Chain A
Amino acid sequence: AQSVTQLDSHVSVSEGTPVLLRCNYSSSYSPSLFWYVQHPNKGLQLLLKYTSAATLVKGINGFEAEFKKSETSFHLTKPSAHMSDAAEYFCVAFSGNTGKLIFGQGTTLQVKP
């Protein structure tokens, strides 16, 4: 069965420093993977998606993620954190039969001034 593990429940960085949010997936086949962001009291917003076209995926707001099959990882990065990046981030896998999304537990990103 498809599963997603986010390795950190909470990440704290200073404004202007790099961001790394880690995600590992478990799948018997090449998955479709996504990162979503959830700001307080707001809906989930798609940051980026991987669908096997390219291993390095660029998303909105300067985020990108690299799919590494050998490590079964799909870590999210950003070179320089901004205060507005503080939110909950979810790594998500696409389950092929019905296309339902399987969410990780989430990582809270805190950005300090």
Chain B
Amino acid sequence: GAGVSQSPRYKVAKRGQDVALRCDPISGHVSLFWYQQALGQGPEFLTYFQNEAQLDKSGLPSDRFFAERPEGSVSTLKIQRTQQEDSAVYLCASRQGVNSPLHFGNGTRLTVT
């Protein structure tokens, strides 16, 4: 596609519910990143994939957060038993190679009530 696509654009979840956020990277982009952006803050790194391999998940805040990219293309970020502190914009980004710029999607705004 023309850019990184994320869905849904907005998600409201009740505390305790599970959510799944989808990212469609730019076709052919090897690397995929997930970031969490709290209100008024800069994006914080969550996890990184190279093709289907998750090479860095050091930024995932707890074991309730899980990300996958089974075929090296689309990725899903899953949050189990959502808490209010999970409310944030979740950004996905992809790039073609290590020295290429990151292209960001518009994000999914998650609100946990």
Contacts and interface: CB of A to CB of B under 8 A. Distances in A.
User: Are the chains A and B members of one assembly?
Assistant: yes
B87 to A, nearest CB: 16
Contact of B55 (A44, A51, A98, A105): A98
Contact of A43 (B4, B33, B42, B99): B4
A29 B56 CA distance: 21
B76 to A, nearest CB: 19
Interface stretch (B11-19, B65-73, B78-86, B104-112): B104-112
A44 B89 CA distance: 12
Nearest to B43: A103
Interface of A: 34, 36, 41-46, 49, 51, 90, 97-106
Interface of B: 3-4, 31, 33, 35, 40-45, 48, 55-56, 91, 93, 95, 98-99, 101-107
15 contacts: A41-B106, A43-B3, A44-B43, A45-B104, A46-B101, A49-B101, A98-B55, A99-B31, A99-B98, A101-B33, A101-B43, A101-B102, A102-B45, A105-B41, A106-B41
